[in-house]
Homo-oligomer: A and B are copies of this chain.
Amino acid sequence: MKSIKVMVNGIPGRVSSVVARHVLNDDRFELIPHALTGPEITESECNIDASTIQLILPESREQAISEIMEREGAFISVDFSLPPAVNSNAEFYCNKGLPFVMGTTGGDRKLLEDTVRSSSIAAVIAPNMAKQIVGFQAMMEYAANTFKGLFNGYSLEIKESHQKGKADTSGTAKAMAKYFNSLGTPFSEEDIIKERDPETQKNVWGIPEEYLDGHGWHTYTLVSDDKTVRFQFTHNVNGREVYGKGTIDAILYLNEKVKEGTKGTVFSMIDVLKGA
């Protein structure tokens, strides 16, 4: 079987690198040794295992991509960049006719989807590539829509821990809070307990030292008003491997859709899960 060519764009050293490594070490794929990156990047190349990736700055991307497209033929682009680049990158992929998987958050999400829908390409767009967490969110959404008030009279606690650099509250925790609201527990975003102190993370939460700089731990606890019933849901992610694996599945899914001739369509991680 011919391998699927993949170009992984974004910030070296973050999820992009995890994805690039998965692509490199998987016979089903061939990694294109070039990556579009942002204006803040000063290196001209980066290394993924024994491979060297040429980094392409925004000002040279027009010419570079033409050469790459001519040389490589069809490929899937993967985008893990930064929020300010979301819409301009999507427009770039759409203009060039490059189907893409985007895990970047932020930007104007409506415009992002509209850009793809009015283009000739298909894309998988997912702010969270961790399949199992997306699946768990979908379960919660199903319950929230189907069993309104199921947890009436229950108290809720939401705790999340992430690396020190993460300033905002976990988007997953916020989404979950909304589902729990539908399930009958009053709770606002401000009630979410955020842990960002590495000492507490290590000593109280028991988060392994090597993951203090990259983890996402979440626990939701429901207790009935008479205290006789207790539910607890936990999802703890260390490092970024799970996002890499989910992105691989998204690439495979999108590649099938491209082969089927799908155009102008936005797929979510839920589509990827269902199609797996």
Q: Which A residues form the contact surface with B (CB < 8 A)?
A: 130-132, 135-136, 138-140, 142-143, 146-151, 154, 222, 224, 226-239, 241-242, 273-274, 276
Contacts and interface: CB of A to CB of B under 8 A. Distances in A.
A268 B231 CA distance: 22
Contact of A224 (B135, B142, B149, B242): B242
A230 B217 CA distance: 9
Contact of A228 (B149, B224, B227, B237): B237
B233 A232 contact: yes
A230 B235 contact: yes
8 contacts: A132-B151, A139-B139, A147-B276, A149-B276, A228-B239, A228-B241, A231-B234, A233-B233
A233 to B, nearest CB: 6
A95 to B, nearest CB: 34
Contacts of A234: 230-233
B229 A130 contact: yes
Query: How many copies of this protein are present in the complex?
Result: 2
Contacts of A233: 232-234
A143 B150 contact: no
A132 B146 contact: no
A141 B143 CA distance: 11
Most buried by B among A130, A138, A222, A274: A138
Given A136-B231, A226-B241, 20 more contacts: A130-B229, A131-B150, A132-B151, A132-B154, A132-B229, A135-B143, A135-B150, A136-B143, A139-B140, A142-B142, A146-B274, A147-B273, A147-B274, A147-B276, A228-B237, A228-B238, A230-B234, A231-B236, A232-B232, A232-B233
Contacts of A226: 241
A242 B230 contact: no
